[in-house]
Structure 1
Amino acid sequence: MRVLTLFEVNTIGTSRAYRESEAIIGRSGAAATFQIHTKIPGGMEPESLSAHDSSVSIEESLDTMNEIFQEGGFNRFGLSNYLPGDVEKIYEYCQLRQYVLPTIYQGIYNPLARSAEKVLFSTLRRLGISFYAYSPIAGGFLAKSKEQILAGSGRFIEGSPYWEFYVNDSNLTALEEWRRIASTAGCHSAELAYRWIRFNSPLKGGLGDAVIVGANRVAQLEQTLGWLKRGPLDKEICDRIDPVWDQVKDSSPLGLRD
């Protein structure tokens, strides 16, 4: 919490899926200083539906969410991983019934997963919903070399979800170019991704958009937040980043294709 305060971060995200995270945050008293974002299964501020549980109708889920809101259970309602068309249906259902409206959407977004730019972002803008980007360095893929990935470094064990998501010929070729761009920019390849998504991507802080930063250690968190203090990338660097997405977008299994 000391590091978060130092770098003027005011929000902490958690979930039941993150082991003891919720309990630790609760015991720490962080809620007195920070906004706490959490999720419900299948899916406080905001309470979030994190992808739809097909065993329960979305209408039933929304009815329940509004009841919890009316009881003071949370302050803001968020969605995660829904297709643009489903976001519109959810919004319209809530609006017609004068339910709490979703105001935050959490989705995957990074230089190798930019499908959200095509339809989702315009849908969210029209509905007044902010976008919170998770996996800004592609689960660590953009922080590693091709050799490290193929050796099974970190999460990238063959057969794992991260391997299936990211390890293909197009992405590995793009990763090599990404590291060359970072070298030209004089920064770490992970720093390049964080700064691009924070300052040079279509995300807009003035509209409430945000980047979700994860860390295993305090030192790692401090390093990442320090990188973000360096500000936007130069135009000539940004001009080399869009072609990286052009190279991988047709083969990317990630993102939304509504």
Structure 2
Amino acid sequence: MTLPTRRIGPFTVSAIGLGCMNLSHGYEPFPAEEDAARLLNRALDLGVTFLDTAAIYGDGANERLIGKAVMHRRREFTLASKCGLGVHDGKRGLDGRPEAVVSTLDGALARLGTDHIDLYYLHRLDRNVPIEDSVGALVRAKEAGKIGAIGLSEMSAATIRRAHAVHPIAAIQTEYSPWVRNPEVAVLDACRELGIGFVAFSPVARGFLAGAVRDDRYSGSDIRAVMPRFLEPQLSRNLALFDRFRAVAQAAGCTPAQLAIGWVLARGENIVPIPGTRSIAHLEEDVAAAGIAIDPAALAAVDAIFTPGAVAGRRYPPAMQAQVDTELLPEELEDA
């Protein structure tokens, strides 16, 4: 199958990519390896040509999964992975030192079973290392042929500009959906100005805008179990917003997940959403959003629901927020 395409740096990719994290990280229970492999191959069959992973996902397990499952179809997709956020001495943390970038990249190449990753991101900003040093290591990796283009994840417009001065940045990856609007503060403008592609992770709000969350009884390993907006008393307020959102989707003739993805697609031609899922049925639903024309009135209705300050609770708890460089919204600054 063929999907509409968009440009991310030097790459032409399907307008909707696949975030592979869910298959190994963040949302248990994880599928069996054969089921995960089946989903990855189904994504390629559906015309998805952009797969996104990272070293931190399952502490390398996600990269190994992709290496086993789809590298025999390597010519069919653009491969993206990330460094800088990982497990160091048994603890999750940041390490943007050039030597750590090189070590993580070499490990990723081995896990993926390849000698080249198309798009390689610095996953988070290590505030103890100048961004110029981290990007410099990625430039040298590009010159060595190990990677094809450089990206940054969850970084501010100021950091993006500093990095771009060292070497052109191909893509910025940040969470973006109707209920996470932080990129609108400055990052989207910086991307448009500098000609950088934007990759939107969690476009269905970690399942919330697909109707997957109705209470806060999560497993202990579910990353939403510590995120304020997914917990009571904030969750009940947010579920009321979802009920309105679901009604808009029904009137528009699509599912809530498709409305969320369509909303992201409508925000700019340089934006590629990468929803993730453990379900082939949900994968097919998500990918089908590329062929649905969302009426502008429905998009306006979405914006009327998720007005500034409407969502209750912060995106991340303090410990996770400390690892994120992306700008806060005005209402988040007031709450700081």
Using structure 1 for the length normalisation, give the TM-score. Answer: 0.82
Q: Which ranges in structure 2 are unaligned for 5 or more consecutive residues?
A: 1-39, 86-95, 97-116, 316-325, 330-336
Contact 2:204 2:210 in 1 (8 A): yes
| Higher RCO by CA contacts (8 Å cutoff, separation 6 or greater) | 2
- The offset of 1:79, in angstroms, is 0.5
Residue of structure 2 aligned with 1:114, choices 154, 166, 181: 181
* Equivalent AA in structure 2 for residue 22 of structure 1: E
Q: Where does residue 327 of structure 2 map in the other structure?
A: 256
Residue of structure 2 aligned with 1:221, choices 283, 300, 309: 283
Q: Report 1:34-113 matches (<5 A).
A: 34-42=77-85, 44-92=117-165, 94=166, 100-113=167-180
Contact 1:114 1:245 in 2 (8 A): no
Residue of structure 2 aligned with 1:32, choices 75, 78, 92: 75
Question: Is the strand fraction higher in 1 or 2?
Answer: 2
Q: Where does residue 36 of structure 2 map in the other structure?
A: none
Residue of structure 2 aligned with 1:241, choices 292, 302, 320: 302
- The offset of 1:16, in angstroms, is 1.9
SS of the residue corresponding to residue 253 of structure 1 reads coil
135-144 vs 174-183, which moves further: 174-183
Q: Which ranges in structure 1 are unaligned for 5 or more consecutive residues?
A: 95-99
Q: Where does residue 30 of structure 2 map in the other structure?
A: none
Contact 2:229 2:312 in 1 (8 A): no
Residues 158, 39 of structure 1: CA spacing in aligned structure 2 closer, same or farther, 3 A cutoff?
A: closer
Contact 2:219 2:225 in 1 (8 A): no
**Alpha-carbon distance in 1 for matches of 2:243, 2:79:** 37
Q: Where does residue 160 of structure 1 map in the other structure?
A: 225
- The offset of 1:2, in angstroms, is 4.3
- The offset of 1:38, in angstroms, is 0.5
Tell me, yes or no, if structure 1 residue 5 matches structure 2 residue 44: yes
**Alpha-carbon distance in 1 for matches of 2:64, 2:46:** 24
Residue of structure 1 aligned with 2:55, choices 16, 23, 36: 16
**Alpha-carbon distance in 2 for matches of 1:17, 1:78:** 16
- The offset of 1:115, in angstroms, is 2.5
31-40 vs 71-80, which moves further: 31-40
Residues 45, 227 of structure 1: CA spacing in aligned structure 2 closer, same or farther, 3 A cutoff?
A: same
30-39 vs 81-90, which moves further: 30-39
**Alpha-carbon distance in 1 for matches of 2:285, 2:128:** 42
* Equivalent AA in structure 2 for residue 62 of structure 1: V
Residues 115, 222 of structure 1: CA spacing in aligned structure 2 closer, same or farther, 3 A cutoff?
A: same
**Alpha-carbon distance in 2 for matches of 1:121, 1:253:** 20
Q: Where does residue 195 of structure 1 map in the other structure?
A: 262
Contact 2:46 2:287 in 1 (8 A): yes
CA root-mean-square deviation: 2.7
* Equivalent AA in structure 2 for residue 237 of structure 1: A
**What do residues 56-112 of structure 1 show as CA deviations (whole Å, max 9, x unaligned)?**
3323212211111111110010011011111112212x0xxxxx3211000110000
Number of residue pairs matched by the alignment: 243
* Equivalent AA in structure 2 for residue 186 of structure 1: G
- The offset of 1:193, in angstroms, is 0.9
41-50 vs 244-253, which moves further: 244-253
Residues 159, 223 of structure 1: CA spacing in aligned structure 2 closer, same or farther, 3 A cutoff?
A: closer
